[in-house]
Structure 1
Amino acid sequence: MTRAAYRRRAARSATAAIVVLAVLVLAGCARIPTSGQVLAGESEQQESDQSYSFFPDAPRDGMSREEIVEGFLDAGTGTQNDYEVAREYLADSYRQEWDPNARILITASVPDVVDAGPDSIQASYKSSASVDSEGLYSELKSGTTERLEFTLAQDSAGEWRITEAPPGIVLLSQNFRSLFKSYTLYFYDDTLSRLVPDVRWFDAQQTALTRIARALVNGPAPWLAEGNVVSAIPSGVSLLGAVTVEGDVADVDFSSSLSSTSPDQYSRMLLQLTESFADFEAITSVTMSITGVPIDQELPPEDEVVVNRQVTSTPLVYKSGELGFLGGVNVTASPETAALQGALASLSPQKGAYSADGDVASFVTPNGVFTTPISDPEPLLVDARPGPLAMSLDSWGYTWTGSTDGPGLRATDVEDRQHSWLEPAENVGATGYRAIAVSRDGARLAVLENSSVGVRVAVMAIEREPSTNRPVALGVPLVLEPGGASPVDLAWVDETSLAVLAVGSEGTAEVRTQTVGGTVSVNGAVLDGQQITGSNTPAGLRVLDKDHHIYVPKGNRWQQSDAVVDFILTQV
């Protein structure tokens, strides 16, 4: 079954509350405006959707040591036949030892190649990013210089060949985006009831399926594993050979140690593989085998595992005391939001978040953060720390709060009114938080954190108590580098990307989209933008300016709508 088919099933299992709320405003859904101010921005580092083949030159007779190294580095674009051309630059005894998949160094310029001794050559690069053997992408600090050392010797014919080289390849950024593609792999949260995405980068051609399957066997990215994100594939199981494709069916063959696994685990493995292979449009189904013997297994029932949790795409707003869904310029209240309005009357809310599944709504007010059940509104003060407070809700019903002055975060359950006090597993210099956002799978926390070097964007895993889903720990922060001026807000765009609103000296707020585990793009700007909220896709992003006008994306521009509201609530 394809990802689209499975997610259609998942969408049908969304809560009745979301369905009812969406229907109430169906006739007046917010439209894409065709008038008003438009601000554009340049796109950078756009990922290519098309794979290319390069055909680098093989070595010629009489090449110097420097030319051999330069030719070898250029041949990193020739991925065909396991880098056959690049291996021709290596000594016969070293050709099979060199591992091209160990690392990709991404650079914006050609190398500076210099003589480093009688049998040595050094190549220096200004590098921007790297990809490791598991396909994990990492930004490097601006201005990072990588120096690669090569040892050479003459063969029996007197030709120079490389006898020792750093593992991996070096690619110009544009060549990297042509040859490699980002794939969304999926693992499970520790309840095995939700899939958690993990972006990897692999060759856009024939080896990607096998490398994806091997990555699923090896487990999630280390920073996700700190939150007990796991693979359904048991430890000790190995992949046997390459993934095979016949027609539109991909088969993954595992070692005999898988034979003792339960049917439920087989089912979750099949879903994990199916979703992780979904970027391959030609593959419509996946099968599994144990040492070549097929396993007869179905996907889990639709209500057992949540795949890419969705919310209603219609903006939920607060406007002049009214809480409801926006249709054009009108706010339509549902029974749930109408009940909340009465509870909010005395709070003067400034920001809000809403979780229909968690039956919780939370609001930032001048007197602190309040949270309340949606079904029976009774606001509870959960954080009264002085100063501006950042707030987020998660889909398990916990309200998260952080102060601009202090590294700790608080997570509160509205039902038992118990707090969890959480700090990142490793102190990377955070002194407070401007904005926080829990992903809808509940496994990841994104933050805008104050630090001695300015405002940074970071993501970390959330570890939860298995029996209650209470947050009990945070992993080591993965610091991202979206660039831009001063970030003021952030939101989840979809399951793998964050939108960061960054204000420059002229008051123009750029929208920068950062894939967690990938690249950055600049998606236009809004003058005096102050708040950004997400939905399910990039088209669901909304920006609010200082005069409370709503802007919607229109291509790589932002179009001012006719709607004016106090704030837009984040739905989780």
Structure 2
Amino acid sequence: MGAERRGYGRGRAARAFVLPVCALMLLAGCASMPDSGDVEQVKATKGADSQVRVLAVPPREGAVPEEIVVGFLEAMTSDDPTFATARKYLTKHAAKEWKPEQLTTVLTEAPDLGPAASGENENSRSYPLSGELIATVDRHAYQAVAPTQYSGGLRLVRQSGPDGKGKEWRIDSAPQGLVLGESDFQRNYVSVNKYYFASGQSVVADPVYIRQRQDPVTRMDPAAQAVSALFDGPTNWLRPAVGSPFPAGTALRKGTTSLTPDDQNVLKVPLNGKASNVGRTACQRMATLVLLTLRELTSPRVEQAQLQRADGSPLCVLSADQAEASAPVRASASPDNVYFVDGNGRMSVVGAEAKTVDKTTVRGPFGTGELRLGTVAVARNAQRAAAVTNDGQHLYTSSIMSDEELAAPLVNSAARKPEDRLSAPSWDRNDLWVADRDPARPKLMRLAGGKGDPQTVEVDGLDGARIESLRVSADGVRIALLLSKDGRSSLKIGRIERHANAEGAVTVSVVELQSAAPRLESVTAVSWAGPSRLVVVGKEAGGVQQVRYIATDGSLSPVGGLPGLNKVTAVAATEDHEERPLVAVSDDGLVRLAPSANWQTMIDKGSSPVYPG
């Protein structure tokens, strides 16, 4: 039943039991677990399995320093209530000061333990910890970083045993919080989208990590953890762009550790006194965010949420269908259509189930061949489209539902080389975006409503990098930018901020760029593939090109890598339905990847594949 675990140091290794969840019931009748005997060192598992549980084992009497260190590091990976077993490896003072909930440090592998260094006397000893740091998690927020060296340490002292006799080694100084390898982190934590309101009724996903099972510190189940995190407010990065309807101090009623829908799929959410007196409209907005936050976490789906006052009386009731009305993306009029540019430079459609080009769906100048197109984007209502000519010089918009005449271009680039001209366009829920890559005058532009004069959008933090391509999220609050600088490419996520002056004119800017794929050495293409998920084409240092899902916070999606594909130059996905095929352009032409299938060729020659948006 055991899973492999990393061995630390030399000599005897401390032990932790690793069991499938289904085996836990069998342990209920055991009087005790063995606490003696040698255990061979083994290496950590590759990959995470959420159905595996690590049961921490307390230190044995007379344990040598290396056993204490290994036992403590292993105990940090468990679900032990309040981390009580881990604290047994610490001195009383250190156990009181250690705050496992304060910060989680994520390394590519479990921390490596270096050789011991003697302390001031024979009763003290220090051990260095090292590894490759890839992220930290603070207040549930995951912050990915480019892989860098991690260094920490543990100091041990020898003190009187619990019975006042003998001497036992215990840890007197430890890194604050948890230090976990990536596989242990993924086994213990799950990403959940919290939701908050942007302008109007639209909502924005704010991804955070909670414990897969019961939280060792709060004893809350995943649903209660997610709702509590929702009440805490947006993560710092998203906070300036969204608002929360929850009054300050809102929390679950004291003692609430579980949120479980009844047999009618109705979820009752008991609140504390801070939220007991909100009005009906505010309460329904609160319930909307609760339902949207839990929709990906509970199965079957919660059909109705009832928020309750501190005294248990109903505050308001809202159905899941009412909450879904605030979702930023809803199915378009032609949800299965994949739009692309055919070999003759015309905008065409291939249905998700077809392998032939439909030349009749796209009407107007983009479908007639009047212009030779290079890249296209379709508005989210699938009524209009934007197109950049194949020389990259002009941006046009037109109806694709009627035979209107071609209007004058909305944007023109003066760059001499085609590769330095206009990027592929992208729509948010209302507006059209495009970048001019002219080395003399590079700029990001927005066309309100997809018409009129382009507005230049200031982008903070580019640091000399050029915008090669872009994709705007459906909610209009986040933008994915593929940047290049000094021959290297990178992917950044920026927050879109809108500010109106006294005359009502709106100024738009992109701020606080954060790395979305710091572990990739180069990025070729990107598309939104969910409320907080991207599909990215890129490669790690020394690796081969991959197509994989990455969350906007930089963490790897549990779906991970996708089947291999050669020389991918473009990719397209949908944000509103995970069952629709992923589409890409490769050496094999225009290809698609349906769920639980391999890549299949749709069209031999095609470029710029897009879904609406």
TM-score by length of 1: 0.81
Q: How far is 1:429 from its partner?
A: 2.8
In the alignment, what sits opposite 1:139?
Answer: 144
SS at match of 2:229: helix
Counterpart contact for 1:131–1:201, Cα < 8 Å: no
Give per-residue Cα distances to partners, 1:116-136, cap 9 Å, x unaligned: 623452432213433423222
**Among 181, 184, 193, which residue is 2:193 paired with?**
184
Say whether 1:281 aligns with 2:299.
yes
In the alignment, what sits opposite 2:571?
Answer: 532
Q: How far is 1:243 from its partner?
A: 4.1
SS at match of 2:175: coil
Q: How far is 1:223 from its partner?
A: 2.0
Say whether 1:305 aligns with 2:352.
no
Task: State the alpha-carbon separation in 1 of the partners of residues 48 and 582 from structure 2.
Answer: 20
Say whether 1:332 aligns with 2:358.
yes
Say whether 1:315 aligns with 2:344.
no
Say whether 1:372 aligns with 2:397.
yes
Task: State the alpha-carbon separation in 1 of the partners of residues 393 and 63 from structure 2.
Answer: 71
Q: How far is 1:465 from its partner?
A: 4.3
Runs of 5+ consecutive residues of structure 2 not aligned to the other structure: 1-44, 215-219
In the alignment, what sits opposite 2:371?
Answer: 347
**Among 508, 512, 524, which residue is 2:548 paired with?**
512
Q: Which amino acid aligns with 2:468?
A: R
Counterpart contact for 1:309–1:441, Cα < 8 Å: no
CA separation of 1:522 and 1:172: change in aligned 2, threshold 3 A: same
CA separation of 1:369 and 1:144: change in aligned 2, threshold 3 A: farther
**Among 450, 455, 464, which residue is 2:484 paired with?**
450
In the alignment, what sits opposite 1:481?
Answer: 517
Q: How far is 1:454 from its partner?
A: 1.4
Give per-residue Cα distances to partners, 1:527-559, cap 9 Å, x unaligned: 232221112437521111367443445747423
Q: How far is 1:397 from its partner?
A: 3.1
**Among 117, 120, 129, which residue is 2:119 paired with?**
117
Give per-residue Cα distances to partners, 1:451-494, cap 9 Å, x unaligned: 24710111111113479896612120110226456422211122
Say whether 1:204 aligns with 2:199.
no
Q: Which amino acid aligns with 1:127?
A: E
Say whether 1:500 aligns with 2:536.
yes
Runs of 5+ consecutive residues of structure 1 not aligned to the other structure: 1-43
The structure whose Rg is larger is 2
Give per-residue Cα distances to partners, 1:344-395, cap 9 Å, x unaligned: 7443210000114385421121252413252666353224242242233223
Counterpart contact for 2:384–2:397, Cα < 8 Å: yes
Counterpart contact for 2:103–2:177, Cα < 8 Å: yes
Task: State the alpha-carbon separation in 1 of the partners of residues 505 and 130 from structure 2.
Answer: 46
Task: State the alpha-carbon separation in 2 of the partners of residues 53 and 570 from structure 1.
Answer: 41
Percent identical: 18
Task: State the alpha-carbon separation in 2 of the partners of residues 505 and 84 from structure 1.
Answer: 41
In the alignment, what sits opposite 2:463?
Answer: 429
CA separation of 1:247 and 1:546: change in aligned 2, threshold 3 A: closer
Counterpart contact for 1:392–1:399, Cα < 8 Å: yes
Q: Which has the higher contact order (CA 8 A, sep 6+)?
A: 1
Counterpart contact for 1:213–1:252, Cα < 8 Å: no
Counterpart contact for 2:152–2:175, Cα < 8 Å: no
CA separation of 1:565 and 1:135: change in aligned 2, threshold 3 A: same
In the alignment, what sits opposite 1:400?
Answer: 433
Say whether 1:382 aligns with 2:423.
no
Q: How many residues get paired? A: 523
Give per-residue Cα distances to partners, 1:152-197, cap 9 Å, x unaligned: 4624443233344322122222222222222222222232x22211
In the alignment, what sits opposite 2:184?
Answer: 175
Say whether 1:229 aligns with 2:242.
yes
Counterpart contact for 1:435–1:488, Cα < 8 Å: no
Greater mean alpha carbon deviation, residues 157-166 or residues 444-453: 157-166
Counterpart contact for 1:51–1:205, Cα < 8 Å: no
Give per-residue Cα distances to partners, 1:57-112, cap 9 Å, x unaligned: 20111223443232211111221312121121223344344221222222314422
SS at match of 1:489: strand
CA separation of 1:236 and 1:116: change in aligned 2, threshold 3 A: farther
Q: Which amino acid aligns with 2:248?
A: S
In the alignment, what sits opposite 1:195?
Answer: 203
CA separation of 1:47 and 1:544: change in aligned 2, threshold 3 A: farther
Counterpart contact for 1:482–1:513, Cα < 8 Å: no
